[in-house]
Amino acid sequence: MRWLLGVSFGELMLKGKNRKKFIKNSIKQVLKALHGFNIGEHFLDHEKLFIEVLDTTEFTKIIEKSTMVFGLSYVYPCIQCGKNFEDIEKSIVELIKNKNYDEKKSFKAFAVRADKSFEMNSMQIAAKVGGMVLRNFDNFYVDIKKPEVHVHVDIRQKCYAYLEKYSTIGGLPIGTGGRALLLLSGGIDSPVAGFEMARRGVEIGAIHFHSYPFTSERAKDKARRLAKQMSIYVGEVRYFEINMLNIYTAINKNCRERFTTILSRRFMMRIAEKLAEKYRFDGFVTGEALGQVASQTIQSISVVNDATRLPIFRPLINMDKSEIIEKAKWIDTYDISIEPYDDCCSFFAPERPVTKPRLYDIEAEENKLNIDELVEKALETLEIFDIIVE
């Protein structure tokens, strides 16, 4: 008998001919997350992953880390034993004794028989396992409707017994959905948007636009810390910083104030597109939600889209602010996001912004500016960091 971490891939089982590629990517991500722990060999058994845990005192932290990996359905600590009922019984007894259940406990036995050559079917195995529990533990009784303890036996090429399984954050493995550049403002919404896209397998980079010294070093530090917190879930983040001060100065000097937000957003997309072309990103992610602020109307979104040929993904587009806040709290970005350091969008926001801009009006304002020169000047301020989860 030996202790293992069992991993179920869930949604990946629906991927048909691409399934092996997705599973291979998931295994890579799990092993990366568990780097530094005392683990042994890993192997697949009927498309479930098993990882040997050499130090069982690390199980709590191993489970915590593995549940944060995208592309998994659930994980569970289990014992691998022989495919005979004597070894199965020994494993179940060890599992239950390890939990130190002193009071009365209701239970139900569950069995999976992936190996169809095994002598009994799933229902027969479960019934026999239930008898083992009753024979060994006087404080256990059967409750098939609302059991407190679930006793599982999983018969594959090898046999596995376990009591608990832990849900993960689900989704698809990082990197299987392409690469996208997140416009990370420092507010509540954009980190949540990046997380939601990462759940669908998208590798996330981040770009933060600032206007130092009009905005503070603390505002820049805040955005970097948001990227650091995101990296717990999305992995390593290639992080770009661009100073927009010259662009805002030119807009304020030459253009009508009410168009400032839309004009600056279009500049951001042009700059982001230059970086995407150089660093091989396939599109952009923003934290916009329809109607949340004046610049997030259908008309504004359409005009901003026109500034780039790459797709702009808005995973929060139909979400209420309360939903976004709850998700931000769940991924622990909320407390950082509400720190009172203004980003450049807030600092230069007009008092009465246009809510239904027309493209020809925006283009008329842009004709007052040297767009290419302003973009190139902004790119000269570029700073790049690789933010790695610890």
Query: What pLDDT digit, counting tens, does each position of 125-148 carry?
Result: 999 999 999 999 999 999 999 999
Query: What pLDDT digit, counting tens, does each position of 5-28 carry?
Result: 999 987 655 555 677 888 888 898
Angle between helices 260-279 and 359-366 (to 10 degrees): 80
pLDDT at 91: 96
pLDDT at 176: 85
The answer to whether 348 and 260 are in contact (CB under 8 A) is yes
The CA-CA-CA angle for residues 360, 318, 287, to 5°, reads: 70
Alpha-carbon distance of 28 to 5, in angstroms, equals 15
The answer to whether 95 and 163 are in contact (CB under 8 A) is yes
Q: Is the pLDDT assigned to residue 246 strictly greater than 90?
A: yes
The annotation status of 209 as a binding-site residue, yes or no, is: yes
The annotation status of 287 as a binding-site residue, yes or no, is: yes
Q: Which residue matches tokens 């299987």?
A: 176
- Chain mean pLDDT for the chain: 91
**Exposure letters 247-264 (e unless 16+ CB within 10 A, then b):** bbebbeeebeebbbbbbb
The annotation status of 163 as a binding-site residue, yes or no, is: no
Instruction: Return the closest-CA partner of residue 73 out of 178, 186, 169, 194.
Output: 169
Tokens of 48: 């479930």
pLDDT at 347: 55
Alpha-carbon distance of 308 to 80, in angstroms, equals 54
Residue range 160-167: mean pLDDT, rounded: 96
The annotation status of 208 as a binding-site residue, yes or no, is: yes
Query: What pLDDT digit, counting tens, does each position of 330-389 carry?
Result: 999 999 999 887 665 555 666 787 888 899 999 999 999 999 999 999 999 999 999 987
Residue range 168-180: mean pLDDT, rounded: 89
Instruction: Give the other-Cβ count within 10 Å of 280's Cβ.
Output: 10
Query: What pLDDT digit, counting tens, does each position of 283-301 carry?
Result: 999 999 987 766 788 999 9
Domains of the chain: 2-167 (3.30.2130.30), 179-387 (3.40.50.620)
pTM of the model: 0.84
The annotation status of 265 as a binding-site residue, yes or no, is: yes
The annotation status of 183 as a binding-site residue, yes or no, is: yes
The answer to whether 338 and 180 are in contact (CB under 8 A) is no
List the end-to-end C-alpha distance of the chain, in Å, as a whole number.
Answer: 33
Residue range 222-233: mean pLDDT, rounded: 93
pLDDT at 344: 54
- In the chain, what percentage of residues exceed pLDDT 90? 75
Instruction: Return the closest-CA partner of residue 259 out of 183, 181, 369.
Output: 369
